[in-house]
Amino acid sequence: MSSPDFRLIFESAPGCFLVLDPDFTIVAVSDAYAQSTMTERDLIVGQNVFTIFPDNPDDSGAEGVQNLRASLERVRRDRTTDVMPVQKYDIRDSDGDFEERFWSPTNVPVVGSDGVLRFIIHRVEDVTDHLRLQRSDEAQQREVVAQSSAAARASRELKVANAELAELNRRLTELDTLKNRFFANVSHELRTPLTLILAPVEKLLAEVPADDSRNWLLDVVDRNARLLLQQVNDLLDASRLESGQVDVEYAELDLTEQVRQAAGFFESRAVDLGIELRVQTDSQMRAETDAEHLNRILLNVLSNAFKVTPEGGVVRCSVQREPGAERAVIEVADSGPGIPADQREVIFERFRQLDGGPTREVPGTGLGLSIVRDLVDLLHGEVGVDAAPEGGALFRIALPVAAPAGAPVGQEPAVERAVERERQATTDRPDQVATRSDDPTRPLVLVIEDNRDLNELVCRTLAEQYRVHAAFDGETGLAEARELEPRLVVCDVMMPKLSGEDLIRTLRAEGAGSVPVLVMSARAEEGARVAMLQAGANDYLAKPFSLTELRVRTDNLINSSLLAERLHVAQLSADRERIATDLHERVIGTLFDLSLQLGGVRDLAAGRVQERIDATMSRVDSVIREIRATIFEA
């Protein structure tokens, strides 16, 4: 059986059909449509529909082209069928005159399997005769005209509304972009001064004795600066969670140990505030979850409990497996004022605080619990709040103990705890007084940072071991790097005149690939760090940073560079010795051949010629002995 001729079937269909491509060019016409519009298929296929069917120039109020174009554009944009009201759209006859016609059009999209719009089917029904029958009644005729005008007016209003909606959507997109840019700027503008607060305080705390009154003042500064850092991190984390930029790294861990460690952070606070801290856990409970996110959830909820619990109160933290389910349930309860039933949902909204007035007693940004909710959702869990037996609020967090199917699961991370222990161990030791040195034997470090206070702090810190030179913008720093050829470049990312990324790329393009670069930046997100490493940076230090960590990373980069240079020099020396030895052997061989040749012609000579040959052979033998002696001595 032969395949059906679909074109013949389409063209013979009883309805009036016109097929357009997305540019409104006619690609197919049914016989009924050509007959109704007094056109010929061969003359209109390949032409734009509005070229073939223009408005009647004698009708100043004609809106057929305008309304049809608007409908077709909606179909092209939204990929949905658009049914138009009855339209007055006059048609040219064979003499070129226009004949009044009324149509009921429908425009239908034809979308491919890839979601791309392929064609638009324009189907019409000629209702002219029907309307003309109604004209016999003058009242009915006026109603039709009024409805047509109303439909045209509604069409125009719809166009205006669509344009306003598109503009509103553009503005919302722009505002969202500006908001994300604002959070990035907040990160940079707040983390830099925080570095200038925390790093000097860390240094002074290590130098001032514990019984000195200044130590207490420095401790106040340190605590409040770290509180500000926590609030900055909350703001940035909330933004990243909202924009979906936070990933989950599942690892197998002991859930009870995680809960005990998180509660342990609050033991000293509980003693200071006179609050009883109860921790109730099973012996061990294995789970596959994100350790960092879990720790953040626990710290935020426990911090909230300690904020509202009065002196002499109780904070309870417990974890147990939910009966009959593959979930672990963590509870944090307090004996504070509790949360009213009608407020137990809104407290998880961003910036929401139950006591948000000027006299509020509980500090905070209103982001802690919203971050908890977002992180719990990210881990496919549930969080809720109820009344606690202790009299306050009871937060109940249910988390699955197994990672989603197909998700990679790593080992329990211990790096962060090790880093913290190392940081505490090093910052407890007093630092030596930083002194600048012009000793040319010391490696030179070029520090490029536009913030003069931070630049000075870094220079003073590194001057204990190295020569340091400062630059305060990217262009000057690049020029100094070319001229001074330092052992290490320490630079910021965001700098006047030339960014840190462009500075690094320029250095690498100019062949300065052996100069290590340590980037210090307020951009703490993973993408910024990866971008700088891809540009050619050797290491990345996020602000605020520890001065001890700065020194350690600097030492590692310079020592690695010096070691690489020594290995290179050793390799060059070995290559020179090998080349010299090979060259000496070739010269000796050549001279020995020459001596043999002279000896062969000596017997043929006589008199003074023979004497000169003997003298020459003696000189060649002497040169061979000297070269061999040089090689053996080397």
What ranges do the domains of the chain cover?
Answer: 6-134, 181-238, 251-355+363-402, 444-545, 568-633
Q: What is the mean pLDDT of residues 443-457?
A: 87
In this prediction, residue 434 has a pLDDT band, given cuts at 50, 70 and 90, of: very low
Report whether 49 contacts 25 (CB < 8 A). Answer: yes
Span 4-56, pLDDT tens digits: 888 888 888 888 999 999 999 999 999 999 898 898 898 889 999 999 899 99
Q: Give CA separation, 266 vs 175, 302, 372, 393, in Å.
A: 40, 8, 18, 18
Task: Write down the mean pLDDT value for the chain.
Answer: 80
Q: Would you tell me which CATH number, out of the four given (3.40.220.10, 3.30.565.10, 3.40.50.10310, 3.40.50.11720), belongs to the domain 251-355+363-402? A: 3.30.565.10
pLDDT above 70 covers a percentage of the chain that reads 79
DSSP 56: -
If one compares 150 and 602, the residue with the highest pLDDT of the two is 150
pLDDT tier at 432 (50, 70, 90 boundaries)? very low
> What is residue 17's predicted lDDT score, i.e. its pLDDT?
92
Residue 413 vs residue 174, higher pLDDT: 174
* pLDDT above 90 coverage of the chain, percent: 21
Q: Where are the alpha helices (DSSP H) in 243-334?
A: 255-264, 267-273, 291-308
Per-residue confidence (pLDDT) for residue 25, from 0 to 100: 94
Average pLDDT over residues 297-308: 90
Out of 18-27, 252-261, 336-345, 622-631, least confident range: 622-631
Same fold, 251-355+363-402 and 444-545: no
Give the per-residue pLDDT at 71.
Answer: 92
Q: Is 145 in contact with 117 (CB distance < 8 Å)?
A: no
Across 352-361, 510-519, 532-541, 611-620, least confident range = 352-361
| 234 neighbors 226 (Cβ within 8 angstroms) | no
Residue that wins the pLDDT comparison between 619 and 45 = 45
Query: What is the structure's pLDDT at 119?
Result: 93
CA 197 – CA 545 distance, rounded (Å): 11
- Which residues lie closer than 8 Å to 203 by C-beta, 6 or more apart? 431, 547
Distance (Å, whole) CA 330 – CA 397? 5
More confident residue, 627 or 362: 627
What's the gap between Cα 237 and its chain centre? 13
On the question of pLDDT at 602 being above 70, the answer is no
Q: Express each pLDDT in 543-581 by its tens digit.
A: 888 888 899 999 888 888 777 676 656 666 666 666 666
pLDDT 10s digits, 360-415 = 345 556 678 888 898 999 999 999 999 999 888 999 999 998 888 888 888 766 43
Q: Which of 413, 352, 418, 427 is nearest to 385 (CA)?
A: 352
**What's residue 519's pLDDT?**
92
Average the pLDDT over 288-302 and give the result: 90
Averaged over 466-480, what is the pLDDT?
A: 92
What pLDDT does residue 581 have?
A: 64
Q: Is 6-134 in CATH node 3.30.450.20?
A: yes
CA dihedral angle for residue 520, residue 522, residue 524, residue 530, rounded to 10 degrees: -50
Q: What gap in Å lies between CA 161 and CA 169, rounded to an integer?
A: 12
Neighbours of 400 (CB within 10 A): 18
Q: What is the SS3 assignment for 252? A: strand
What's the average model confidence in pLDDT over 420-427? Answer: 36
pLDDT tens per residue, range 514-544 = 789 999 887 767 777 888 888 888 899 888 8
Reported as type and span, the H/E element at residue 316 is strand 314-321
Residue-wise over 472-486: b if at least 16 C-beta within 10 A, else e? bbbebbbebbeeeeb
Task: Tally the C-alpha atoms within 13 A of residue 133's C-alpha that lie toward its C-beta.
Answer: 3
Q: Please report the pLDDT score of residue 436 as a whole number.
A: 46
**Please, which residues have CB within 8 angstroms of residue 249's CB and are 6 or more apart in sequence?**
290, 292, 410
Pick the CATH number of 444-545 from 3.40.50.11540, 1.10.1040.10, 3.40.50.2300, 3.40.1280.10: 3.40.50.2300
Of 210-219, 350-359, 402-411, which has the strongest mean pLDDT?
402-411
Q: Are 333 and 316 in contact (CB under 8 A)?
A: yes
Question: Is the confidence at residue 94, as pLDDT, over 60?
Answer: yes
| Residue 416 banded pLDDT, cuts 50, 70, 90 | very low
The pLDDT, as a whole number, for residue 396 is 93
185 vs 471, higher pLDDT = 471
Model confidence, pTM = 0.44
More confident residue, 226 or 491: 491
Q: Does the pLDDT of residue 335 top 50, yes or no?
A: yes
Quick one: pLDDT at residue 633?
A: 56
- Residue-wise pLDDT for 241-291, tens only, equals 777 778 888 999 988 888 988 888 888 888 888 899 998 887 788 888 998
